[in-house]
Amino acid sequence: MTYYNKEVLRIREQHFPKPYITEHLSRARNFIDENCCNTIDLQIISEFSLLSKFHFTRLFKRHYGITPYQYLTERRMQVAKKLLASNKTVIETCYHIGFDSPNTFSATFSKYAGMSPSEYRKKQFSIRLSQRSAPILSFIK
């Protein structure tokens, strides 16, 4: 084996996870995607991925660039945006996506969306309203 082959193998070993670790992490990510609106925590996710929670957190961050908790929160905020756009109330959305407190939900949503949930909901409503009332121009020759 040449020097370059050894270096390539060393770099691959250092920077790319083993296939079985990638499988565990993708299982955990799918679990988060499917259960983001349920009450889940790091212990439950790491048990599902068959890794200790500390090792799991470290590997997840290295693999995806964010912690499992950050990923879970981002998924919840995506669902919250869809619910608010579909005319659900802020309280309904808060409890539907797994938050216990409307205040915590509002603070978290504001951090991720740059506006409060009620502002986001009003903005989505006004966008839908303007799309409905936009005149349809047809040109007849």
Show me where the domains of the chain are located: 15-124
Give the single-character DSSP code of 98: T
CATH homologous superfamily of 15-124 equals Homeodomain-like (1.10.10.60)
The pLDDT value recorded for residue 24 is: 85
H-only helix segments in the chain:
3-15, 19-35, 42-48, 53-64, 68-85, 90-96, 102-113, 117-133
Taking the alpha carbons at both ends of the chain, their separation in whole angstroms is: 76
**3-class secondary structure, 70:** helix
Q: Are 89 and 118 in contact (CB under 8 A)?
A: no
For residue 86, give both structure tokens: 């579909």
The tokens 């790319």 sit on which residue? 16
The answer to whether the CB of 61 falls within 8 A of the CB of 53 is no
Q: Tens digit of pLDDT per residue, the chain (141 long)? A: 788 777 877 776 666 566 667 888 889 999 999 998 888 889 999 888 888 889 899 989 988 899 999 999 999 999 999 999 888 899 999 999 989 899 999 999 999 999 999 998 888 877 666 666 555 555 554
- In the prediction, which pLDDT does 39 show? 87
Calculated CA dihedral for residues 127, 71, 103, 80, nearest 10 degrees: 30
pLDDT recorded at residue 132? 60
Q: In angstroms, how far is CA 125 from the centroid of its own chain?
A: 24
DSSP code for 100: S
Per-residue model confidence (pLDDT) at position 63: 85
